[in-house]
Structure 1
Amino acid sequence: MKKILCFPILLLIFTNSIYAQNELSKIEKLATTAKIWGFLKYYHPEVANGKYNWDKELFKVLPKVETATNNIQLSQVYIDWIKSLGEIKPCKKCDIEKDIQYFDKNFDLNWINNKQIFTTELSEKLKYIELNRHQGKKHYVNYYSNKLKIPDFTNEVEYENFDWQNGNLRLLTLFRYWNQIEYFFPAKYQTDTNWDVVLAKMMPKFLNPQTELDLHLATLELIVSCDDSHATYFNEKTYSFFGRYYMPVNFKVINKKAVITGFYNDSLAKLNDLQLGDIITKSNDKKIETILEEQEKYINASNISRKKFNASYYTLNGATDSVKIEFIRNGKTSIKSIKRYLFKDFKYKAESKSDKYKILENNIGYTNIGKVKEVKEVPKIMEALKNTKAIIFDIRKYETFTPYYFANYITSQKKDFYKAIVTDLDYPGRYIWSETFKSGNDRLKYTGKVILLVDESCQSQLEFTAMCLQTGDNVTTVGSQTSGADGNVVIFNMVGGYKTQISGVGIFYPDGTETQRKGVKIDIKVKPTIEGVIAGKDQILERAIKFINE
């Protein structure tokens, strides 16, 4: 008799343990809902074609998700939701094997087979949707250009000036952006933090912000999590948080210290007794390195080099018109208060006096390629520099659209200089390799050395310029890591109407080497020193000249 009673008890304990294992936290349920909602948005034929107001459908399902306590109940919520969307007909086009070379480092739908969260019935339904996914023009995403195949997010309700206390719209902010990156950001696989982890990490910050500013900072942190120098967030509220008042200097972060490298206004810098080479170690009694650590999650950049470059806005700015600094000058440490100003008070204009080209000592040609705006100037410059023993192309300032024409002078044959990956809208999350693209000419006109100067200020078009010129016969690239944000930019609006952007095309060297996050290839690396900055040296240019004269 005891043995008979023992079995039901063991069965009950076993059953309870199963359910205990499958109980889901609020974060798990919402993260799963975000994935299901995004998957159906871009894959389900009746959703992707715009038949449903997909934001409202999310708001309808959220209360049902909240009441589900385990994976069985949650799966049933999703199953009922999918059934309500209508029958999915078999997709004949989806079965056809495409003669396409896919890049699949971003593609991962393995989550639909997660047995800890989904029942077998739900996983099978999701797999069926994948295999019979929507084809053709979509409602929520399209190609901005059929030729370039850059994604363009369309027909999204912006909810401008929405009440930040609206929990549904806060979750929509996170869900929408997370899925846009999940399926249409070519460098998603390169993020420091796995994109699934980002979703779970950011969920509490969107669920429980204490103030409106908390919500905007959470949005900024989410965007920065892309690790993309292009991924900016145009929002005055976050600008105000970091402060509208500037010191009248610009600086470079070296060895976790702020070294003054120039002035926004010479008179105001002199008035505050600030000098080139001053090393600022503290701001309002806080170490510069501590400030950088605290603000890092808000500074967009593909790599640490660009993050330091972008840090100037976040490090010494503030909400007050004065700041106490600790600084080192001539080996002596001092402390004093400095006035800060609104940027408009500087009446600042970027330096534009530098020559487009000139001949340096020892018959070395130099051209500031960013100053060359017109194609017709290229022959004139190359004619003037044709008898030099080397030409230095400085790619560290401004932007130019003339690299192809300079490349024609330094190559003996056309060469591949990049290839790209573009999103396949008929299979979201998968990317297609483009053909390689060539630059250069079949007739070498300049036979001397060619040197390219690059650093962290080189981003996007400037990095593309460097890649194009690197096809030359006798080219050496000198400098420090570039921004690592190549390719065309996709600009779109967040919930609330605030603009943001990402790199929309993945750019690679012909051999498959990534440029996103890594930057362009560098032959001679130069790491600027505090001593060199204090002395006012252009250490990258000096190293290039040394290489030429060797």
Structure 2
Amino acid sequence: MSKTTFSVVFFIFSFLTFGQNESNSKIETKKVENLTSLAKVWGFLKYYHPNVAKGNFNWDEQLIQMIPKVEQAQNKEELSKIYINWIAGLGEVKECKSCKNTSKRESFDENFDLSWTQNPDAFTTELSQKLKFIEENRFQGKNKYITTSSDENVLVTNEPSYTDFKYPDRAHRIASFFRYWNIVEYFFPYKYVTDQKWDSVLTEMIPKFENAGNEVEYHLAMLETVVKLGDSHANFFTEELYDYFGRKYIPGFINVIENKAVITGFYNDSLAKLNDLRIGDVIEEVNDRPMQQILEEKAKFSHGSNKRTKNINYDFTIFNGSTDSVKLKITRNGIAFTKMMGRYKEIVYHRAKAKSEKYSIDENNIGYINMDALNRLDVDEMMEKMKSTNGIIIDVRNYPNFFGFDIVRRIISSERPFARLIYPDLTYPGKFFWEKPVVFTPNKSKYYSGKVVVLVNEETQSRAEFFAMALQSGDNVTTIGSQTAAADGDITKAEFFGFKAFMSGLGVFYPDGRETQRVGVKVDVEVFPTIKGIQEGKDEVLEAAKEYLKNI
């Protein structure tokens, strides 16, 4: 074959291959688009269609049966016809007179968006009209699949339980993802502040669930989806993930300080000493890989409402493994060295409490309260001892044993709101409504008139944040520290098939409507730990609080 002939043949082959690949790509794109619409229509009917919401159908099975039909649709006319026939088989939707009544409650609609039902590029006019009719005559009774607790937090109910679903078939993997996606779509109060639009999560993750080649890839897809909520409450782990990331841990844990991964505490003091691991050690490399590169790679598996919270949740994916040791490059006192660090399966994987004392008064007559150790029964005696102090520091860089509202009532001189909450509106899924501001009544007979400092950081989460907000309503309160975990409010369950995850269930805001999710509670004076301070064993935030009280 001459060079000219070979070139022509090669060109034709390349052109045909390119054309075939381009064609396959278009088919895959169309399939994902169709499945995306199915996820939305299925979820919408689940919570809106009266006969579906009552539980008259095996709704998961209906979804499984619809997947191959929807995938084969070539255009919006074929796709819409499939949905129209499906809806016709669900029975009559009667006019709902109560649906037209305007609620007297103040609505929160930031998460609400059913505009996709009226998209002319995706659906025919006939289908859009049917979907709109269902919205306007939506189910108003007790939904089989969703309800609320006594405090109006969302409860997922009556979902079929699946066993032996560590690695289900393709259709069930996709359907499992659709279930979780729709729970978030309609009932996650902070969907509107996620970094990634929730619609695009659907498009991105469908291929990952579809193409997951084994148990681990499937479980990683679930974990990655949950992490995309950007919610410190939203985490997900399975036995398969524990095996994948490894069940053996080094004796210490890190935080990211001054953009460096720094050992800030130990899981086990004796094992840390045995391995010569020290507080303040800067970890530069793990198994010859730069730490910054690892942090970027593992970010999609590390949950947190903001970067500061994600920074303390990396441990599980960085240092653990299945071998008995890991190679670390460490910088200590300006000197870099490499060593093998022991890993241990028997380590209890939790961060030890930094302080055990409940409360104290120092030589400058400044009171200190550790909410991690204090109990409700300690409050009266403690506040009596502190009534003549020059100020009180309340440490909420932890998870309090109780809400501490008895303390709050002693530092306010008049009734005042400190928070507003939003609750899911089950009569109109996707909408929420504002509750009246939460107000405290003062305990005037035991009023403390001195200065109060509240300490917060990335470990101030959920109950701790709500309590910090309450303390901030006090007469003479200053908050010192750094951004909190930014996951306020109760948690609720969000399910895949056979697996449970969690998310924040109630929306918590300041009385003026300012957000706490993703942002954290208000901080008046920012103080951050330094590597030098950690190495010297200092609590720089506490020291700053004491200095502040001495100088006012």
CA offset at residue 535 of structure 1? 1.6
C-alpha deviations, 1:210-249, integer Å up to 9, x for none? Answer: 2210000000001111111111114111122221111112
Q: Distance in 2 between matches of 1:130 and 1:213?
A: 39
C-alpha deviations, 1:167-199, integer Å up to 9, x for none? Answer: 111011110000000000000001000000000
CA offset at residue 370 of structure 1? 2.5
The verdict on how the C-alpha distance between 1:106 and 1:401 changes in structure 2, with shifts beyond 3 A counting, is same
CA offset at residue 252 of structure 1? 1.9
Q: 2:472 aligns with which of 445, 464, 470?
A: 470
Q: Distance in 2 between matches of 1:62 and 1:266?
A: 54
Q: Distance in 1 between matches of 2:59 and 2:241?
A: 29
C-alpha deviations, 1:296-341, integer Å up to 9, x for none? Answer: 1111111111100111222221221111110111111111111111
CA offset at residue 158 of structure 1? 2.3
Q: Distance in 2 between matches of 1:265 and 1:85?
A: 59
Letter in 1 for 2:186: Y
SS at match of 1:371: coil
The verdict on how the C-alpha distance between 1:395 and 1:165 changes in structure 2, with shifts beyond 3 A counting, is closer
* Within-5 A mapping of 1:182-261: 182-261=185-264
The corresponding residue for 2:138 is 133
The verdict on how the C-alpha distance between 1:352 and 1:286 changes in structure 2, with shifts beyond 3 A counting, is closer
* Within-5 A mapping of 1:514-533: 514-533=515-534
Letter in 1 for 2:205: M
SS at match of 1:500: strand
Q: Distance in 1 between matches of 2:347 and 2:370?
A: 29
CA offset at residue 473 of structure 1? 0.3
The corresponding residue for 1:88 is 93
Q: Distance in 1 between matches of 2:144 and 2:113?
A: 23
CA offset at residue 447 of structure 1? 1.4
C-alpha deviations, 1:237-268, integer Å up to 9, x for none? Answer: 11222211111122222234321223222332
CA offset at residue 346 of structure 1? 6.5
Q: Distance in 1 between matches of 2:185 and 2:164?
A: 26
**1:111 equivalent in alignment to 2:112:** no
**1:154 equivalent in alignment to 2:157:** yes
Q: Distance in 2 between matches of 1:143 and 1:290?
A: 43
SS at match of 2:372: helix
Letter in 2 for 1:401: F
Q: Distance in 2 between matches of 1:276 and 1:143?
A: 45
Q: Distance in 1 between matches of 2:254 and 2:122?
A: 51
The verdict on how the C-alpha distance between 1:187 and 1:50 changes in structure 2, with shifts beyond 3 A counting, is same
CA offset at residue 465 of structure 1? 0.9
SS at match of 1:409: coil
The corresponding residue for 2:23 is none
CA offset at residue 161 of structure 1? 1.1
Cα contact 2:251–2:347 (8 A) shared by 1: no
* Within-5 A mapping of 1:49-448: 49-145=54-150, 148-162=151-165, 164-342=167-345, 344-345=346-347, 350-351=352-353, 354-374=356-376, 376-441=377-442, 443=444, 445-448=447-450
Letter in 1 for 2:452: V
CA offset at residue 419 of structure 1? 0.9
Q: Distance in 2 between matches of 1:382 and 1:362?
A: 17
Letter in 1 for 2:211: N
Cα contact 2:267–2:348 (8 A) shared by 1: yes
Q: Distance in 1 between matches of 2:457 and 2:232?
A: 14
CA offset at residue 439 of structure 1? 1.9
C-alpha deviations, 1:485-528, integer Å up to 9, x for none? Answer: 111111354212x2211111000110101111111111001122
Letter in 2 for 1:155: N
Cα contact 1:372–1:402 (8 A) shared by 2: no
CA offset at residue 28 of structure 1? 0.2
SS at match of 2:312: helix
The corresponding residue for 1:10 is none
Cα contact 1:24–1:70 (8 A) shared by 2: no
Q: Distance in 2 between matches of 1:385 and 1:456?
A: 28
Q: Distance in 1 between matches of 2:537 and 2:450?
A: 29
Number of equivalenced pairs: 525
CA offset at residue 445 of structure 1? 1.7
Q: Distance in 1 between matches of 2:253 and 2:314?
A: 11
Letter in 2 for 1:505: L
Q: Distance in 1 between matches of 2:529 and 2:51?
A: 56
Cα contact 1:323–1:340 (8 A) shared by 2: yes
The verdict on how the C-alpha distance between 1:440 and 1:319 changes in structure 2, with shifts beyond 3 A counting, is farther
The corresponding residue for 1:485 is 487
Q: Distance in 1 between matches of 2:52 and 2:481?
A: 49
**1:457 equivalent in alignment to 2:459:** yes
Cα contact 1:22–1:117 (8 A) shared by 2: no
Q: Distance in 2 between matches of 1:291 and 1:520?
A: 30
SS at match of 1:472: coil
Cα contact 1:24–1:71 (8 A) shared by 2: no
Q: Distance in 1 between matches of 2:314 and 2:245?
A: 11
The corresponding residue for 1:32 is 37
| TM-score relative to the length of structure 2 | 0.92
C-alpha deviations, 1:80-131, integer Å up to 9, x for none? Answer: 1111111111111111122121000000000011111100111011000000
C-alpha deviations, 1:455-499, integer Å up to 9, x for none? Answer: 101111111110111111000000011101111111354212x22
The corresponding residue for 1:11 is none
SS at match of 1:485: coil
Cα contact 2:249–2:347 (8 A) shared by 1: no
Cα contact 1:158–1:494 (8 A) shared by 2: no
The verdict on how the C-alpha distance between 1:228 and 1:348 changes in structure 2, with shifts beyond 3 A counting, is closer
Q: Distance in 1 between matches of 2:240 and 2:27?
A: 41
Letter in 2 for 1:387: S
Q: Distance in 2 between matches of 1:30 and 1:325?
A: 45
Letter in 2 for 1:314: T
The verdict on how the C-alpha distance between 1:190 and 1:49 changes in structure 2, with shifts beyond 3 A counting, is same
Q: Distance in 2 between matches of 1:174 and 1:449?
A: 51
The verdict on how the C-alpha distance between 1:348 and 1:229 changes in structure 2, with shifts beyond 3 A counting, is closer
Cα contact 2:267–2:347 (8 A) shared by 1: no
Cα contact 2:180–2:495 (8 A) shared by 1: no
C-alpha deviations, 1:354-387, integer Å up to 9, x for none? Answer: 321111232111111222222x321110111111
Q: Distance in 2 between matches of 1:461 and 1:81?
A: 45
Q: Distance in 1 between matches of 2:349 and 2:176?
A: 37
Structure 1: which 5+ residue stretches go unaligned?
1-20
SS at match of 2:488: coil
Letter in 2 for 1:409: R
The verdict on how the C-alpha distance between 1:440 and 1:288 changes in structure 2, with shifts beyond 3 A counting, is farther
Cα contact 1:202–1:218 (8 A) shared by 2: yes
The verdict on how the C-alpha distance between 1:524 and 1:89 changes in structure 2, with shifts beyond 3 A counting, is same
Q: Distance in 2 between matches of 1:173 and 1:243?
A: 26
The Cα RMSD (Å) is 1.8
Cα contact 2:465–2:484 (8 A) shared by 1: yes
